[in-house]
Structure 1
């Protein structure tokens, strides 16, 4: 199994970075995981701005030369692992920009005349590991649904054929009572024992 870990946080002293290290630690101890690549979007200076105009047509985005390396990473991976904080109830703009540019028509999906297009990334699965200041139960209570899970799981990843999607949502992470070590170990154990 090949893992592409997409890390999206500007600070390497952050709790998100600690979760990234636990993903890597557990994965390296798992004999079923044969390959690991890490894409640090901020360190990479990834350009999240989606541009199409008279010169750059939307229908040609899946052939954008500057994104070839990132397309190869996604094609190589069996599982995509996203590690990021929750900003304003959603992933960082940097990560959403990556998805905007990478999951384009012709690479992520193909229109087929039906209600939903054909997902071209079928056979891959994903794990989303997110941290937030507020309690994780705030979404269903305050917003009547979990907008973050709907966005990442259904509107984005399922749309391009990636499923299943496993979520680790860790809340109260700025609190001294946030049980950080327990949560970090939960991620480590998951990847150490991951079978597929």
Structure 2
């Protein structure tokens, strides 16, 4: 199994970064994972801004030469792992910009005249690992699970990724937030991951 980790947090001293380390360490001990690549959006200074004009048309996004390496990463991976904080009830703008630019028609999906498009990333699975300051159940009761609906239905299932696992951790700025236990859960998941 080939794993692409898309990491989105500007601070390498953050809990998000600690979760990234747990994914990597857990994957190292898993013989079913053959290779892991990490795309650190902030470290790479990924440009999340969509630009359309007479020379850069929306219908040509799927072949933008500037993004070819990133398209190859997405095609290469069997499992996509997104690691990010929840800010204002949703992933950071940097990650949303990556999604806007990368999951383009002609690459991630194809319209074919039916109600829903054909997802072109079929056969892949995904894991979303997110942390937030508020309580774990805050998104469910206050925001009607908007974050999970965005990631699972509006994005991943739309492009053909059917199997999506969530680790959504709350109270992460609280000293009693059980950080070690939550980090261990992620480590154990990746160490035992079968597919």
Where on the TM-score scale, by shorter chain, does this alignment land: which range?
over 0.9
Match of residue 4 from structure 2: 4
1:27 CA drift (Å): 0.4
User: Which residues of structure 2 form unaligned runs of 5+?
Assistant: none
The 5 A counterparts of 1:2-151 are 2-143=2-143, 145-151=144-150
RMSD of equivalent CA atoms: 0.6
CA–CA distance in 2 between the matches of 1:27 and 1:52?
39
TM-score for both structures, normalised by structure 2: 0.99
User: Which residues of structure 1 form unaligned runs of 5+?
Assistant: none
Q: Structure 1, residues 54-89: CA drift from partner, whole Å, max 9, x if none? A: 111111001000100000000000000000000100
Secondary structure at the counterpart of residue 158 of structure 2 = helix
Match of residue 173 from structure 1: 172
Secondary structure at the counterpart of residue 43 of structure 1 = helix
Q: Structure 1, residues 108-147: CA drift from partner, whole Å, max 9, x if none? A: 100010111000000001000000000110122223x200
CA–CA distance in 2 between the matches of 1:41 and 1:121?
21
Name segments (4+ residues, structure 1) moved above 2 Å: none
1:18 CA drift (Å): 0.1
Instruction: Please say which of residues 87-96 and 51-60 is displaced more in the overlay.
Output: 51-60
Secondary structure at the counterpart of residue 172 of structure 1 = coil
Instruction: Please say which of residues 134-143 and 66-75 is displaced more in the overlay.
Output: 134-143
